[in-house]
A and B are shown apart, each in its own frame.
Chain A
Amino acid sequence: MRDTIDAAFLRVFESHAEGKEPPALNDDLILLESGLDSLGFAILVVELEEELGFDPFTLSDEPYYPQTLGEFKDFYEANTP
């Protein structure tokens, strides 16, 4: 799951933030500083839904805003149906 998220992140980054250098992916990466904007994250979540079959952000009742890539991945793992 964590690798799938990394791969999707890089794919979306490449197509959405064209020309920019992709960040080094680790759990401490601050999402807001990763170079992806909110449209980029919206696309990432949609692409992951295609691959994984679920969107934890719409499944969970509580609104959740992960700050780091690690938290983002944890949220996916914790909310796997």
Chain B
Amino acid sequence: MKPTRLKRLLGEVDPSREALIGAGAGLSYEDVCKASWNGPSAARVAVGCRDLGAVARALVALDGAVAALCAIPPQLAGDDLRAVLEQGEFDHALVDDDDARRSAFEAGGAVCHSPDEALSKRGDGAAFDGATEWLVPTSGTTAAPKLVVHTLESLARAALAGRNPSAQPQVWGMLYDLTRFAGFQVFFQALLSGHTLVCDTPDASLGARLERFLAARVTHLSATPTLWRKILMAPERRDLTLKQITLGGEAADQPTLTALAKAFPEARITHIFASTEAGVGMAVSDGRAGFPLAYTQAEHGGVEVRIEDERLQVRAATSASGYAGDTPLGDADGWVDTGDLVRVEGDRFHIIGRESGVINVGGDKVVPDHVRAVLLECPVVREAVVYAKKSSFTGALVAADIVLHDPAMDAGEARAALKEHAASRLSATQVPRILRFVSDIEVSSAGKAKPQS
């Protein structure tokens, strides 16, 4: 069977439809599809452009034309960029006209081209016989990012399954970095069904993005729960009329789901669990936090889920095959351990956090995301981030940065309210012992909350 090609799929959409609206000019489906790769078909190509239109055109031109491609996150630099270039063994790179950026890619062993030079508008370009590898960097919040090896079929599985190129066109907003797993999901969900995707430059503020979404009449929006809480606080969101709200990347908590339902009464609200390693996992749209336990009993959309030793494992027909450098991901039966810890409550299971982020308090393992979820339920708390602080007596203690709903609230009162709330819901080792009140919490490029340094 011949592998699926992105260009062929997008070619089935009405070519005059708008594909991308961005900071620069818009691109129709015809514009996105007409570029072809001029280089050798055995090439391994890193795409390091900042312009999202150029990235999109490059991905379409390169799939099926080269051995491997990788869209490099625009903010990746220094050691992290070096690590990614080394893992990918790229021999070609598409880079904007920026000397510093160019020399970083050249130092990684790649011949650099400008996108215009490498992607011609004529001819058929090269053709690669097998399925092109799509290398997707993990977010690498604690270590250097790793490249996960996908194909178009594994990376776009969810979008391919629900694909309908003749559907009524919708307008989707992009809040993720296109080069990450979550960004690819939005990209494929929008373009494979012929919708319009509204993007912004990577450094645009949330307010500016929301204004652009409003002007383009965006109806479909996907973001992390942390980012959704910021959107709820942004005045620009008031006039948005959303039909589909998707939450992913972190566990969706009940207060956020409830607040979104109130703010956007016409929207369907879906929260999803997915990991870069496993491909898309599962989704639920009933407005309740957690996932139905029934999901562990039967296959859903080509994905099986099970809970082993309180950890979530998934198995899918088309998972990523491994990390670049051939570390296999799954066991012999194809089950992939997601590294996420799970708690079962009644007929639901909740993903309470990553095992790798666990804080060890005198031998007790504390999951920061679990503590954070409890803090977010406290009525005085708007946003929270939980982290470890070194202690000479217990190795570590749990610390939290808190943004209060009312910044003028007395710190002593807030502390007392939080202490009481936490003590009644958490064990002694889980209770944050160090509380800092801050005015804002930084959001990482993957849309997740970060502690202040």
Partners in one complex: yes
Q: Select which of B361, B393, B428 is within 8 A of A41 by beta carbon.
A: B393
Interface pair B433/A46, CB less than 8 Å apart: yes
Q: Do A16 and B397 contact each other (CB < 8 Å), given the known contacts A45-B391, A46-B391, A58-B390?
A: no
Q: A28-64 toward B: CB 8 Å interface, digit per residue (1/0)?
A: 0000000000110111011000000001011000010
B317 interface residue (CB < 8 Å to A): no
- Does B166 interact with chain A (Cβ within 8 Å)? no
Chain A: CB-nearest residue to B397:
A42
- Is A57 in contact with B397, judged by CB distance below 8 angstroms? no
With contacts A57-B392, A58-B390 taken as known, whether A42 is within 8 angstroms of B434 at the C-beta atoms is no
Judged by a CB distance under 8 angstroms, whether B201 is at the interface is no
* Structural contact, A39 and B429, CB atoms closer than 8 A: yes
Contacting pair B390 A43 (CB below 8 A):
no
- Which residue of the partner chain, among A16, A55, A63, contacts B428 with CB atoms under 8 Å? A16
- Whether A46 contacts B434 in the complex (CB less than 8 A), given A39-B394, A39-B429, A63-B392, comes out as yes
CA distance A41 to B392 in the complex (A): 9
Chain B residues whose C-beta falls within 8 Å of the C-beta of A57 in the assembled complex: 392-393
Q: In the complex, which residues of chain B have a beta carbon less than 8 angstroms from the beta carbon of A63? A: 392
* Interface residues contributed by chain A, number (CB under 8 Å): 12
Give Cα A47 to B392, complex, Å: 14
- Cβ A38 vs Cβ B434 within 8 A: no
Interface residues of B in 374-408 (CB under 8 A from A): 389-394, 397
Q: A43 to B433, Cβ gap below 8 A?
A: yes
- Considering only residues 303-332 of chain B, those with a C-beta below 8 Å from chain A are none
Q: Answer whether residue B362 sits at the interface, using C-beta atoms and an 8 A cutoff.
A: yes
Instruction: Give bound CA distance, A16 to B434, whole Å.
Output: 15
Contact status B392-A58, CB under 8 Å: yes
What residue of chain A has the Cβ atom nearest to residue B392's Cβ?
A: A57
Q: Are B428 and A38 touching (Cβ within 8 A)? A: no
Name B393's closest neighbour in chain A (CB-CB): A42
A43-B343 Cα distance, complex, nearest whole Å? 28
Interface size class of B (residues with CB under 8 A): 10 to 19
Closest chain-B Cβ to A65's Cβ sits at a distance in Å of 9
Q: Return chain A residues, CB-CB under 8 Å to B429.
A: 39
Give chain B residues whose Cβ lies under 8 Å from the Cβ of A45: 391-393
**Given contacts A39-B361, A39-B362, A39-B429, is CB(A46)–CB(B397) below 8 Å?**
yes
Alpha-carbon gap, A38 to B392, bound state (A): 10
Report the separation of the CA atoms of residues A33 and B115 in the bound assembly, to the nearest whole angstrom.
Answer: 72
| Max chain B C-beta neighbours (<10 A), residue from A16, A38, A55, A58 | A38
Residues of chain A contacted by B434 (CB below 8 angstroms): 46
Contact B391 A42, beta carbon cutoff 8 Å: yes
Specify which chain A residues have a CB less than 8 angstroms from the CB of B392 in the assembled complex. 42, 45, 55, 57-58, 63
Task: Please provide the chain A residues from 13 to 39 with a CB less than 8 Å away from any CB of chain B in the complex.
Answer: 16, 38-39
Residues of A close to B390: CB separation below 8 A: 58
Which residue of the partner chain A has the closest CB to B361? Answer: A39
Inside 8 A of B393's CB, which chain A residues have their CB? 38-39, 41-42, 45, 57
- Complex interface bits, B413-453 against A, C-beta within 8 A gives 1, otherwise 0: 00000000000000011000110000000000000000000
Query: Which A residue sits closest to B363, measured CB to CB?
Result: A38
In the complex, what residues of B have CB within 8 A of residue A16's CB? 428
In the complex, what residues of A have CB within 8 A of residue B428's CB? Answer: 16, 39
Tell me the bound Cα distance from A4 to B429 in angstroms.
25
Output the least CB separation between B366 and chain A (Å): 11
Find out whether the CB atom of B433 lies under 8 angstroms from the CB atom of A38: no
Q: Are A38 and B397 touching (Cβ within 8 A)?
A: no
Q: Smallest CB-CB separation from A44: which chain B residue? A: B393
List the 3 closest A-B pairs by CB distance, nearest first: A57-B392, A42-B393, A42-B391
The interface of chain B, by Cβ under 8 A from chain A, is: 361-362, 389-394, 397, 428-429, 433-434
A-B CB contact pairs (8 Å), 27 listed? A16-B428, A38-B393, A38-B394, A39-B361, A39-B393, A39-B394, A39-B428, A39-B429, A41-B393, A42-B362, A42-B391, A42-B392, A42-B393, A42-B394, A42-B397, A43-B397, A43-B433, A45-B391, A45-B392, A45-B393, A46-B389, A46-B391, A46-B433, A55-B392, A57-B392, A58-B392, A63-B392
